Amino acid sequence: MAMPDWYAEISPAGRIPVLRDKAIGTEGVAGTIADSSAICAYLEKKLSAGLYADSVFDTGRAVWLEEYADTELAQPLGMKLFRPIMFPRFAGKESDLETARHIYQEELPRHFDYLEDALAGNEFFVGNQYSIADIAIAAQFTQLDLVVGLPNAIRWPALARHTQATKQRPGFVDNLAACSKMLGRVIPEKVDLS
């Protein structure tokens, strides 16, 4: 689907999201920042949210894990699992469960393994504090949980605990409630891909 010209102007890659700071500009490119990573960095600087860790190394690690979530994890979870299940349902058709099952069983476990190791049994991904890495990774896993459930908690216990804990944070609770309500109309129960 082609983006309208006005959107292509503010998002040259043609992707979402795009943020507009109306204090800087109200139309055209002025005041816009495309890409979630760039938006997060902008909001961090603007709001001093403290989500990029305390040490220089931990900041780099948090940025890496946010990027990993945004690319390596989002691609199979969003494009190859969520879309084949949900997009046909939005159109009143049957889900492509064969594609989704293949991704869930064959491609995602290596990502789950990597992130389980990255957590190393800790509460947070970087240092001893909640960071952009936790938000970015949990956003992907809460999407997974809405549709098919979390990865096996016996094989990936730290990842399951991390996602469950993050789902209880104020920024996630309201968002997940809205998403559950919307998706619940199309997919009343989670899809079994085992």
Full residue range of the structural domain in which residue 78 is found = 56-184
Phi, psi of 70 (to 5 degrees): -75, -25
* Side chain identity at residue 157, one-letter code: P
Is 108 domain-assigned? yes
Query: Do 17 and 79 belong together in one domain?
Result: no
Closest CA to 159 of 176, 180, 177, 142: 142
Prediction pTM value: 0.87
Is 193 domain-assigned? no
- Quote the pLDDT of residue 1: 57
Query: Do 40 and 64 belong together in one domain?
Result: no
Is 77 domain-assigned? yes
pLDDT at 138 over 90: yes
Query: Do 162 and 114 belong together in one domain?
Result: yes
- Distance of alpha carbon 184 from alpha carbon 188, whole angstroms: 5
Is 93 domain-assigned? yes
- Give the tens place of pLDDT for each residue, 160-187: 999 999 999 988 998 888 888 887 777 7
Is 33 domain-assigned? yes
Query: Do 105 and 165 belong together in one domain?
Result: yes
Is 84 domain-assigned? yes
Query: Do 17 and 85 belong together in one domain?
Result: no
Residue-wise burial string across 46-76, b where 16 or more C-beta atoms lie within 10 A, e elsewhere: eeeeebbbeeeebbebbbebbebbbeebbeb
Is 189 domain-assigned? no
Domain count, the chain: 2
